[in-house]
C-alpha cells in the first residue's frame, strides 16, 4: 500500500510504502498526486519511504514506478529515498547518475535528515 504523508510543502510528493505495493496503489494514489503537484509546479520533489513494514512491489507496480519517473523525467528536482531495503538502496544508487535532479538514499534512522533535505530551499 502507498500512503500519502502529510506536513510536507506542496511541491513535495511524500509517500510511505507499507505491505505489498500494487499497480492499483500507483493508479489511485501516487500517479494522481504527482500529476496534481506537476500542474502546480514546474519542478517537484519526491520523498519515498519504504521502511520495515514494506513487503515488496508487484511487477506491474514496478513498471508504473518506472513510467512515472520517466514521463516526468526533467521535472524531478530532488528525490529522497528512505529505506533499509538493500535492493531498493542499490537500485537507486545505480540509477542516480541519470537523474536530472538530486537524488539521495537515506537509511530509515536518518528519515528526519531526509525530510530536512527534501524541504530545504
Distance CA 74, CA 30 (A): 18
Q: What string of pLDDT tens digits covers the 121 residues of the chain?
A: 999 999 999 999 999 999 999 999 999 999 999 999 999 999 999 999 998 899 999 989 888 878 887 777 789 999 999 999 998 898 888 877 777 789 999 999 999 999 999 999 7
pTM, 2 dp: 0.91
- 2-119 maps to CATH 1.10.10: no
| Domains of the chain by residue range | 2-119
Distance CA 25, CA 61 (A): 8
Contact 43, 75 (CB under 8 A): yes
Amino acid at each position: 500500500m502507498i500512503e500519502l504523508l502529510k506536513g510536507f510543502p506542496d511541491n513535495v510528493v511524500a509517500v510511505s510504502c507499507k505491505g505489498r505495493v500494487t499497480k492499483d496503489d500507483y493508479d489511485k494514489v501516487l500517479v494522481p498526486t504527482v500529476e496534481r503537484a506537476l500542474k502546480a509546479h514546474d519542478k517537484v520533489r519526491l520523498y519515498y519511504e519504504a521502511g520495515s513494514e514494506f513487503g515488496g512491489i508487484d511487477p506491474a507496480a514496478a513498471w508504473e514506478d518506472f513510467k512515472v519517473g520517466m514521463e516526468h523525467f526533467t521535472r524531478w528536482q530532488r528525490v529522497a529515498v528512505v529505506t533499509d531495503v538493500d535492493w531498493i538502496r542499490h537500485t537507486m544508487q545505480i540509477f542516480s547518475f541519470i537523474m536530472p535532479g538530486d537524488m539521495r538514499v537515506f537509511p530509515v534512522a536518518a528519515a528526519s535528515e531526509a525530510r530536512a533535505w527534501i524541504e530545504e530551499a
